[in-house]
Structure 1
Amino acid sequence: MINAKDSHNTFYSLNQKSGIPLVFIHGVGLNNTIWEPQVNAFENSVLTYDILGHGKTPLDKDEISFDIFSDQLLNLINELNIEKIHLIGFSIGSLIARNFACKFNERLQSLTLLCSIFKRSTEQQKLVNDRFELAKKSKKLSKQALNRWFTDDYLKKNPDTYNKISSLLDTNNMNNFLKVYSLFVNHKDQEDFSKIKVKTLVMTGEGDVGSTPQMSEELSKEIENSYFKIIPKGKHLCSIECSDNVNLEIKKHIENA
């Protein structure tokens, strides 16, 4: 495993094997270590990294957009001399992946959008707005998020995972977190999905209340060469709780891409 920083100060981990690499983009408030259940699960190389303002990657801009996150990924794969990737984005990582795919479709072999928001209802938008305002006032992240991200049964049986994710939330630089979270909260689904030509898997957990199965189904209809899957019993972090199922769907997807 290679753990390093590129010339733009992006921290990454590369499990180098063979074939077209899988690149995983984590969610807001987290870092590349959430992909531990995926790193050794594939025959291909696996690249994970910390997005701007998270983990060991700094954020030195006041004004940010999804374009700078796409450029971050482009700079990273260019520096590693990677021509094509299987791109998997989770939560805000899926929004980064959507932006990247619209701009740099030719660099993709396949695209997976995991737990992606799409066309929030007025009520759903109000809920995420309220959580954003609470985070701004309290200057910390609510652990209630874990109850939306995992089933109660899983958290009872896996206290180590609860502690690990809680620790990640606690170590956030709140100024950076709020900048990035604001992008997620205010996202308006204005991508030109016709620019995504690569085969796309849109997938979410059956019990994900923020990135619902209905959202994934509707998003899949917007992307021409795509299909959607629901992970039974999964919630937002189904990539951890239901990792075997999630990994199997990604494997089938990249094999057919």
Structure 2
Amino acid sequence: MITGNTTSGTFYVFNKKGQSTPIVFIHGVGLTYEIWQPQLNFFKNYSNLSYDILGHGKSSLKKQNINFDDFSNQLIELIDEIKIDKIHLVGFSIGSLIARNFATKYNDRLQSLILLGSIYKRSVQQQKIVNERFDQAKKELKLSRQALKRWFTDKYLENNPDTYEKISSILSGNNMDNFLKVYELFVKHKNDEDFEKMNTKTLIMTGEHDNGSTIEMSKQLNNVIKDSKLKIIKGGKHLCGIECADEVNLSIKNFVENND
């Protein structure tokens, strides 16, 4: 296991195993690489790479104005620096938007692409809701713990208080200036990627009860991304990668092995 920082300030954890194509995990806004622990444990015998996106966890953010290209540049610099050629890329929430951007620019570096909890063409009402959450975060300069109610089922939170505290701790540890810059990108995302440039085998997954990254959005993505497959995680909400880890892990494993 190699942990370190790139020359430009990206914190990463690299588990290198033989010659296998690494599985790279990109987390969501306000979170850190640590949310992938169920996947990192499951894929401990595979090469895998997780890292903190710009302005999150232990990764720096030096620019005032940012866009999705900056996050793609962060990833390409990271894999170039640690000398990885091809990757299986797994992105969650804003991480899936970063992965989509990356796929339009560095398609030749992808072995496969997995989008978990991705958004596509929010309705007027859905956009209004995320705008209001963003305004609340700007006003209060903190993240509401209500997010966890959207991300996990009540039953899961009741039975897993340690997870509740862990995620809450990550959220409260954010640098709010950096968080708001990144959150704004997520809120204002326009689905303007050139999907024609995405020529990678793609798996689109979302939780059955995810109200922000809905089944309908995933179905539409499945229609616009060629050579893509759709998987709905039964009983899951937004952070189904933790709550429904077994099903998510097996889905990733099967897809990666079929496309290695």
Given the two structures, how large is their TM-score scaled by the length of structure 2? Answer: 0.98
Structure 2 residue runs of 5 or longer lacking an equivalent are: none
Measured after TM superposition, the shift of residue 182 of structure 1 is: 0.3
**Letter paired with 1:14:** F
1:73-112 matches, within 5 Å, as 73-112=75-114
Provide the residue aligned with 2:195 in structure 1.
Answer: 193
Q: CA offsets, 1:49-102, max 9 Å, x none?
A: 000000000111111000000000000000011000000000000000000000
**Letter paired with 1:66:** F
Provide the residue aligned with 2:234 in structure 1.
Answer: 232
Provide the residue aligned with 1:221 in structure 2.
Answer: 223
Provide the residue aligned with 2:35 in structure 1.
Answer: 34
Q: Which moves more between the two structures, 185-194 or 38-47?
A: 38-47
Measured after TM superposition, the shift of residue 40 of structure 1 is: 2.5
Identity among equivalent positions (%) equals 63
Provide the residue aligned with 2:11 in structure 1.
Answer: 11
Measured after TM superposition, the shift of residue 3 of structure 1 is: 1.3
Provide the residue aligned with 1:253 in structure 2.
Answer: 255
* Alpha-carbon distance between aligned partners in 2 of 1:13 and 1:32, rounded to the nearest angstrom: 8
What SS is found at the alignment partner of 1:88? strand
1:161-176 matches, within 5 Å, as 161-176=163-178
* Alpha-carbon distance between aligned partners in 1 of 2:160 and 2:17, rounded to the nearest angstrom: 30
* Alpha-carbon distance between aligned partners in 2 of 1:159 and 1:113, rounded to the nearest angstrom: 27
1:50-61 matches, within 5 Å, as 50-61=52-63
**Letter paired with 2:90:** I
Structure 1 residue runs of 5 or longer lacking an equivalent are: none
Provide the residue aligned with 1:120 in structure 2.
Answer: 122
**Letter paired with 2:9:** N
What SS is found at the alignment partner of 2:4? strand
* Alpha-carbon distance between aligned partners in 2 of 1:79 and 1:67, rounded to the nearest angstrom: 18
Given the two structures, how large is their TM-score scaled by the length of structure 1? Answer: 0.99
After the TM superposition, list the runs of 4 or more consecutive aligned residues in structure 1 that deviate by more than 4 angstroms: none
